[in-house]
């Protein structure tokens, strides 16, 4: 059941995170939203509250361990507990390895991989103390199949998949862990790409077969909504048009 659960979402100011926050709020969840942009977070939070939901926010960068801990702490301070942590924040400045965009590589590792680990570090003790809790992490179908220009991004998402599956096994019988593998989704990820031609190619592919972020939000809700004794380990979701 979703109603009444306290859910923290990283990367909640746009895309999948924003859609998930809005959808879960309509289902009765209490939201604590995190992202770097305080103004956008405030607007997302305001819309939820104006619609009759409950939400709070804190500006964070998931690459900073103390920021993710602050998000978890805000959930406890505001609502007294944390039931679900959705590790959604991610960056995708893809490009050829020959470009040697080492700063982009480092940022992908810091956000896509370390950001998930900092979420685990912050929430796992809370979940252990409560004897309940659910980790949900957004990976990508790129974790399962890479293509040229996506080697580092795919590597970070494959790492996330491995971390989450190991976590799922370690906490089995006590807590829950779910990894979501979305395909092309209507988000602003193409804006992270420096190469103009590659960015245009991504945008064209998105126009051809990207799915709305609300579809991923519903998949996340499906995992949360299972009976306590059921854990949905993985969900792969893509548009029907995507090969």
pLDDT number for residue 9: 98
pLDDT number for residue 206: 67
Q: What is the pTM of this model?
A: 0.95
Which tokens go with 112? 């896509």
Alpha-carbon separation of residue 26 from 6, 56, 78, 166, 186 (angstroms): 13, 15, 19, 32, 21
Residues annotated as catalytic (active site), given as ranges: 153
Euclidean distance between CA atoms 130 and 77, whole angstroms: 15
Report whether 235 contacts 148 (CB < 8 A): no
**Model confidence at 221: pLDDT above 90:** yes
pLDDT number for residue 187: 77
Euclidean distance between CA atoms 220 and 214, whole angstroms: 10
Q: What are the tens digits of pLDDT across the range 112-129? A: 999 999 999 999 999 999
Superfamily of domain 6-237 in the CATH hierarchy: NAD(P)-binding Rossmann-like Domain (3.40.50.720)
Q: What are the tens digits of pLDDT across the range 58-107? A: 999 999 999 999 999 999 999 999 999 999 999 999 999 999 999 999 99
CB atoms inside a 10 Å sphere around CB 169: 10
pLDDT number for residue 112: 98
**Model confidence at 173: pLDDT above 70:** yes
Average pLDDT of the segment spanning 196-210: 75
More confident residue, 26 or 194: 26
**Model confidence at 208: pLDDT above 90:** no
Average pLDDT of the chain? 95
Return the domain boundaries, the chain: 6-237
pLDDT number for residue 204: 72
Euclidean distance between CA atoms 61 and 106, whole angstroms: 14
Percent of all residues in the chain with a pLDDT value above 90, rounded to a whole number: 88
């Amino acid at each position: 059941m979703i109603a009444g659960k306290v859910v923290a979402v990283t990367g909640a100011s746009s895309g999948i995170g924003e859609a998930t926050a809005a959808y879960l709020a309509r289902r009765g969840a209490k939201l604590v939203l995190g992202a770097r942009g305080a103004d956008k977070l405030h607007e997302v939070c305001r819309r939820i509250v104006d619609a009759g939901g409950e939400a709070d926010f804190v500006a964070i960068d998931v690459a900073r361990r103390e920021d993710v801990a602050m998000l978890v702490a805000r959930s406890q301070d505001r609502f007294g507990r944390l039931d679900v942590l959705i590790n959604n924040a991610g960056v995708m400045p893809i490009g050829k390895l020959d470009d040697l965009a080492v700063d982009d590589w480092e940022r992908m590792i810091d956000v896509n991989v370390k950001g998930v680990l900092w979420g685990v570090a912050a929430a796992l003790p809370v979940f252990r103390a409560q004897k309940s809790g659910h980790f949900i992490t957004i990976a990508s179908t790129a974790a399962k199949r890479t293509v040229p220009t996506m080697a580092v991004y795919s590597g970070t998402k494959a790492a996330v998949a491995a971390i989450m599956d190991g976590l799922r096994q370690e906490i089995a019988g006590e807590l829950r862990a779910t990894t979501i593998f979305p395909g092309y989704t209507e988000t602003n990820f193409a804006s992270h790409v420096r190469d103009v031609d590659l960015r245009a190619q991504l945008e064209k592919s998105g126009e051809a077969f990207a799915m709305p972020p609300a579809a991923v939000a519903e998949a996340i809700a499906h995992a949360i909504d299972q009976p306590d004794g059921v854990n949905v380990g993985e969900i792969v979701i893509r548009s029907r048009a995507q090969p």
